[in-house]
Structure formats: C-alpha cells, structure tokens
Amino acid sequence: MSLNITNMELTKESQITFVFYFHMGNPRFTFYTLLTFIGLTMSLWTVSAEGAIREYWIAAEKVEWNYAPSGQNLIRPNMGLGVWGKALTYEKYRYIEYTDNTYTKRVEQPIWMGILGPQLQAVEGDSVRVHFLNRADKPLSIHVHGLQYDEDNEGADMKGSGAAVQPGSMFTYHWEADSDAAPGPNDPSSIVWLYHSHVDAVTEVYDGLIGTIVVTKKGMERAPNDPRPKDIDKSFTTLFLIFNENERKIVESGQNEAYESLEEAEEGNLKHAINGFIFGNLHGLEVEQHDRVRWYLIGLGTEVDMHTAHWHGQTVLNSGKRTDVVSLLPGSMVTVDMTAKTLGNWLYHCHVADHITAGMNTRWRVVPKR
C-alpha cells in the first residue's frame, strides 16, 4: 500500500520539465513556464490529494479444495454428509494475495474467508492497482464490479489488454473507487463489490476465482493507511454459492466413495457452500458481545442459487429495515449491520429447505468481551 505515490511520481516528472525549460534561455518564456509549472504542480497535488493508491499483488493458482475438512456434519452429526460427502476434495483455482511483486510471501487470511480471494479495501476517491499474476494453466482475468475502469481494465468480454491474462503472464488492473463506487445515501459507511475471473465467467466462478472489494465512504476510514470503516468493530464476508463440480476433477483421497448412480453423482457434486465449506465446516465467525458487526453478503451461481441468509440469535439492519433473513440472487451484493448482543453459538444458514439438507449452514459465535 502506498500513499500519494502519484504526487511523487508526477512531481519528479514536473521537475524534469522545469529543468528543460530553464535551459531555454528566454526569461519571459521561463517565467511563464514557471507559472505553468506551479499551476500544474498545484493541480496535480489536488488530484493526488483526493485519494490514495491502494496496491495489491494477487496470483491465480491451482489448488485442491476440501469442502468439509473435518469429514463430518458439524451441525447435525447424526445425519452425516449424505451424498455430498462422497467426494469432498476437488481440483480448483483461487486468488492468492502476496505481500509484494516477488509473489513469495502470502498474506494470511482469517479462516472464515474460506475459498474467497483477498478482500481488497479502498476509500472513496482512491485508485486501486491490482498486479495480477496468472500462475494457473489457462487464461484468466479479474473483472471487478462497481469500480470505474476503461476497456483495458474491464478484465472481461474478450476485449482490452486485461481480458485474458495468459498463463505465466502479468497484468496490472487500474480501477477507480470514485463516488459512484462508494456508499449511497441509504448505504452504511462501507459497501461490498464482487470481483471474479471473466474469461469463461461461469466456469471460473465455479473454479473458485472469486473475491470482494470493500469501499468506505470518504471521511469514514479509520486512518489514511487503514481504509476500513471506523464505525464498526468487526466485519465478515460470506458467499452463498452452490459450486457445480460435475465438470471437475475429484482428487483421489481416502474420503472419496463411489457414487452409486449418475443421478447421485450429479447431486453429490453440487456443493451447497458458504465460503466454500459445507455442514458447519466454515469456522471463525466469532465476535465479542456488543461488537458492532458488518456482514458483507454475496450471492452467485445459477437458477438454483436463490439463497436466504439467516442469523439465529440476532437481527440485522438492511438499508434501514430490520430483519434476520437477507435474500440473495446470483450477483447480489448486500451489506448489513448488527450489534451482537446475546452470547451464544448461533446457527447461520440458508433458509431454503433443500439447501439446509444439502449443508448450506454453519455457526457464528458471540463470546464475552475480553
């Protein structure tokens, strides 16, 4: 992350310009160019003072993903994992964040993020630069929702230089978190946007190439180098998506049992997951009592992906309206707030009957203030 790099870079450029004109020898010309230089510097300062540049280094990589590492149904142990437990580990892809352009040191993610790519952060007015390295075996991209970009930085639609980054290649995406990307009048102090690969978007979302970016309203950031909103204590991001693994390679391991029929295979390969985990295998959704908690909710998938995220133990405020169930359709991005009042280990699940049976559930926990 670097602040005001733009200003430094442009000032250097302007200094070169200044030296060039100084040597022209004509005093009047030099005077006017000096004025121009001052004016230019002032205007560049204004531009750069509007926002910071947030830089991220992200690689797409092939991984093996296990939807239930415990091998158990942790919500209703007696019911087991059903047909969804016959195959648990698949060859997938993920966005992995690194600390710098050496792409050697990973940025640690909290366990509740599961399969999600890094959560990027920006403040209204910031520029975002994502240095994307494709370490996988097919062309991939990053297409962001909500932020401003030109065609080269759209990361989609087979046009522009960022539409399909070849294996082994890099591309730096430039996105602007301007006021159209920032919270609106009825939004909380920050909102969530999706990003995902968009060469073959359907396949690549199911691959696992999904992440989010949070944009905080100008003035609501915690500090210049901490773009997270200052009016909340904790936030979580949860993706409700039935991963269709019917086209994908199952990784051979002790967990796999043979499907008994094509029908069973087709159902068993539909992983009704929250952040890529099923039957309570998503952990770490823990807050302290009285914490102000923000939930960023994402829906993706196809016509079976009508999800209703439901919290036990606490209600949320959704655009000024009180509820404890939030509806999500494919492509939905919703931000809701709660103050966690009641201690407990609470269910958090999709309320669609068929999805409950298939394991789209986990728990969130409220523990005493430490």
Q: Which residues bind Cu ion (CB under 5 A)?
A: 307, 350, 352, 355, 360
Beta carbon of residue 172, minimum distance to Cu ion (angstroms, whole number): 36
Toward Cu ion, which CB reaches closer, 194 or 340? 194
Q: Which is nearer to Cu ion, 52 or 278 (CB)?
A: 278
Return the number of the residue (173 or 296) whose C-beta is nearest Cu ion: 296
Name the strand (E) or helix (H) holding 271: strand 270-274
User: For Cu ion, which is the closer residue by CB, 107 or 329?
Assistant: 329
User: Measured from the CB atom, is 6 or 244 closer to Cu ion?
Assistant: 244
Closest distance to Cu ion from the beta carbon of 191 (Å): 22
In whole angstroms, the minimum distance from the beta carbon of 246 to Cu ion comes to 18
Q: How far is the CB of 314 from Cu ion (least distance, A)?
A: 20
State the nearest-atom distance from the C-beta of 360 to Cu ion, in Å: 5
Task: Name which of 214 and 350 has its Cβ closer to Cu ion.
Answer: 350
The nearest distance, CB 337 to Cu ion, in angstroms, is: 22
Q: What distance in Å separates the CA atoms of residue 328 and residue 304, rounded to the nearest whole number?
A: 11
- From the CB of residue 229, how many other CB atoms can be counted at a distance below 10 Å? 23
The residue sitting closest to Cu ion, measured at its beta carbon, is 350
